[in-house]
Structure 1
Amino acid sequence: MQGSSIRVALLMLALAPFGLQASEPATEKVPEYALDASWPKLPLPNRWALGLINGIHVDANNHLWMFHSPELVPNYARGAAQTPPTGKCCVPAPAIIEFDEQGEVLRAWGGPEQAKGYDWPTAGHGLFVDYKGNIWIGGSQTRVGADGSPPDGMYLKFDPNGKFLLQIGGRGPSKGSLDPSRLSGASAVDVDPETNEAFIADGYGNHRVIVFDADTGEFKRQWGAYGKPPTDEKLPRYDGGPTLPKQFNLVHCIRIANDGLVYVCDRLNNRLQVFRKDGTFLAEYVYEPQTRGSGSVGNVSLWPDAQQTFMVMNDPGNFQTVLIRRADGKVLSRFGHFGTWAGEYHRNHQMEFDRKGNIYTSEDHRVQRLKIVNGVTPR
């Protein structure tokens, strides 16, 4: 299999009404990108420093929301936070930060020390802004940590000012991929505005997509790879050969398109699976099948035109940004390289379009913005 391999034989007639087309579309002009060094405005206020970036998302106002781990700001960068201070730099920033388009901080809140009446994640993972403007975050720790910290089995919902609204699940080890009462290393969520359902990629410990009412937390349904019931069978990761695993390995992203298609990243199996919202399997795309390490399918984000023509995919194992045609999963362009210089990628974790088609990329301790340089914009 070369680059993108598409397993959709015998399915294409069924897929056409759901946005996947059997015919080859006309050649599109694809956006090209360069680093936008103007974003964010630096230095951050209040002598803030960032830990690991757990999640990013762009809201309806084209503001970038960031979730990071204040507790993972290294000790050598905490001098200003000591009593008495041991240096001018720095202070860990609050866990959740909102930036405007120009890169200015608008508000910030959250962190384990502020959690009252709910379980703050031990190892934060994922951030999503729903259609009501609410903020969702999860956690990826699946075992008791070396320091005794508990596993993450929850997803949390807040209003934009940090008021706690809902907890789905709770701390503790997995109860299995069929149990709806606790998550295990849930990595991402998307909320469907048509049904007000929260679709959770559950994820690092369990092997499923699980769906809840986004206001009450009531369990609705769940599924594993190919829409089958999820299992906890210990399966090896994909080896790049012709036979693909029958179960998810690491469910690392979930994204619902305007036409109702649900895209699920199976990161360590180097594939993207496509479903209807009821869990019916439609298609599978495999990318760079020989990739080991962090895998090749980290997350996807949808181009902000009406048809959501393109997707941007984060390829963490190859340190690249990948632009994909959504209609058939074909790779249209790839770019990026490992490194710590501006414009390079170091442990790239997530990539998201904004409302104008620019791309935000998250890594350890930083988010970068890539701007369109060839005039191709959403229409």
Structure 2
Amino acid sequence: MNINRSTLIIALVAVLALAALFVGQNRMEQAPQAANSDQLVPHFEVDPFWPQPLPNQWLLGRTIGVAVDARDHVFIVHRDSPDMFMSQELGLDRGVASCCTAAPPILEFDPDGNLVNGWGGPVEGGEYEWPASNHGIEVAANGDVWIGGNGSTDSHILVFTRDGDYIRTIGEPGNLPDSNSTTHFSRVAEIAIDAANNEAWIADGYGNRRVVVLDATTGEFKNFWGAYGNQPDDDANNTYIPGEPLPQQFRPPVHCAEPSADELIYVCDRGADRIQVFQRDGTFVKEGLVAPATLSGSTWDISFSHDPEQEFIYLADGSNMLVHVLERESLEVLYTFGDGGRQPGLFFGTHSIVTDSAGDVYTTETYEGKRVQKFVHRGLVPLGDIRPGAPWPASEIH
């Protein structure tokens, strides 16, 4: 059989292309193994019975925020509008079946998963303008509940008591993006309150391209900045192409801004698959990429481990349906848990994440995931002993 030179070259190029694709996918889907397999890392098991079943034939919609208060009560925010559900789900509302109806948008659970309270939503002629699309929740040290919104003209933050009584609005509702405004936001993704410094950190957001810091008492704008500490520029090219130089502006959504105990600020630049770290004055410190071949964004939300050094970061990745466990100092991914699916410990649209005082982790899921899950901290184990996938007890894996 005669094979000419050009045919051989074409075949070789095809083989190399397939090999490159395989390597790229491998790098995206598997956690790095550069860390020492003897390194001790936190180990989790999903609690399939948390929370307890909801009363009143209530259902959750897209669940897009989670927070823990000083009592280890867990607060979630979900989208309860009818367009978040299939018509068959709301049979009670439609008068065609005994089940079901949407739960109130803010739900509070005690540490055992019992529902404590539910409230929120628009009030006709009320004092406040409820977001068109709820997004993000935080509980301050005094128990006040802060929520944002990422509807097209959601440009404000609402503050309530833990029981749902309205306190105030921060920012002017109804505005379009302006990443240099000091009077409004644009589609806030997440809020984090630093009680020690009386500051609220705002991931701003889906419309704007910045981090904002507020006085937590007055709501006054104190500072804001974009990627690398740059002045935000809404018109700058922020295209993200894996393997190419990283954009000099955030690529919305800017999805988290989380202060650490050592007074650094960790920012989720979801659209560019990266975490950027800053000093509190906006001075850039470092950045790390997570699953950098993810074209739909990998860095959705973070929480820190509950040890004095906050040695680890837990990162929710709703595109790859995982939680990544990172070493905070190096921003290196040590391992992942979860995978795509509907069973306990698996995910569909891993959206938000938080850690309680026991070190247990809670996640929420958007899209059709529509739930909150609890992962119990089972102590530290050697990295080499970690099994990927659903974090079930070893005795239950066949």
Superposed pair shares fold, TM > 0.5: yes
Counterpart amino acid of residue 259 in structure 2: I
| CA shift for structure 1 position 375 | 5.7
The aligned counterpart of 2:200 is 198
Unaligned runs of 5+ in 1: 5-23, 143-150
The 1:358/1:114 distance shift into structure 2, 3 A limit, reads farther
| CA shift for structure 1 position 341 | 2.4
| CA shift for structure 1 position 166 | 2.1
| CA shift for structure 1 position 74 | 3.5
SS of the residue corresponding to residue 131 of structure 2 reads: coil
SS of the residue corresponding to residue 70 of structure 1 reads: coil
The aligned counterpart of 2:92 is 80
Is residue 51–residue 74 contact of structure 1 (8 Å, CA) maintained in 2?
A: no
Is residue 80–residue 88 contact of structure 1 (8 Å, CA) maintained in 2?
A: yes
Q: Does 1:32 align with 2:43?
A: yes
| CA shift for structure 1 position 53 | 0.7
Counterpart amino acid of residue 79 in structure 1: G
Q: Does 1:165 align with 2:167?
A: yes
The 1:290/1:345 distance shift into structure 2, 3 A limit, reads same
- Distance in 1, matches of 2:125 and 2:289, equals 40
String of CA shifts for 1:34-92, please: whole Å, max 9, x gaps. 221120112x112111111120111221111011111134332222234xx32111121
Q: Does 1:328 align with 2:339?
A: no
After superposition, residues 93-104 of structure 1 pair within 5 angstroms as: 93-104=103-114
Counterpart amino acid of residue 50 in structure 2: W
What TM-score does the superposition give when structure 1 sets the normalisation length? Answer: 0.86
Counterpart amino acid of residue 218 in structure 1: E
After superposition, residues 155-304 of structure 1 pair within 5 angstroms as: 155-250=157-252, 251-293=254-296, 295-304=297-306
Is residue 40–residue 380 contact of structure 2 (8 Å, CA) maintained in 1?
A: no
Counterpart amino acid of residue 38 in structure 1: F
Is residue 240–residue 289 contact of structure 1 (8 Å, CA) maintained in 2?
A: yes
- Distance in 1, matches of 2:98 and 2:28, equals 48
Q: Does 1:307 align with 2:309?
A: yes
- Distance in 1, matches of 2:357 and 2:298, equals 25
Is residue 238–residue 248 contact of structure 2 (8 Å, CA) maintained in 1?
A: no
| CA shift for structure 1 position 120 | 0.6
String of CA shifts for 1:248-301, please: whole Å, max 9, x gaps. 0121001111110110000010000011111111111111211112x1111110
Unaligned runs of 5+ in 2: 1-23, 30-34, 382-398
> Between Structure 1 and Structure 2, how many residues are aligned?
345
Is residue 236–residue 249 contact of structure 2 (8 Å, CA) maintained in 1?
A: no
Root mean square deviation of aligned Cα: 2.1
- Distance in 1, matches of 2:284 and 2:201, equals 15
Seq. identity, %: 38
String of CA shifts for 1:80-111, please: whole Å, max 9, x gaps. 234xx321111211111110111100111111
The structure number with the bigger radius of gyration is 2
Is residue 28–residue 294 contact of structure 2 (8 Å, CA) maintained in 1?
A: no
Counterpart amino acid of residue 41 in structure 2: V
Is residue 267–residue 298 contact of structure 1 (8 Å, CA) maintained in 2?
A: yes
Counterpart amino acid of residue 298 in structure 1: W
Counterpart amino acid of residue 91 in structure 2: G
Q: 2:131 aligns with which of 121, 142, 154?
A: 121
- Distance in 1, matches of 2:196 and 2:375, equals 31
SS of the residue corresponding to residue 30 of structure 1 reads: strand
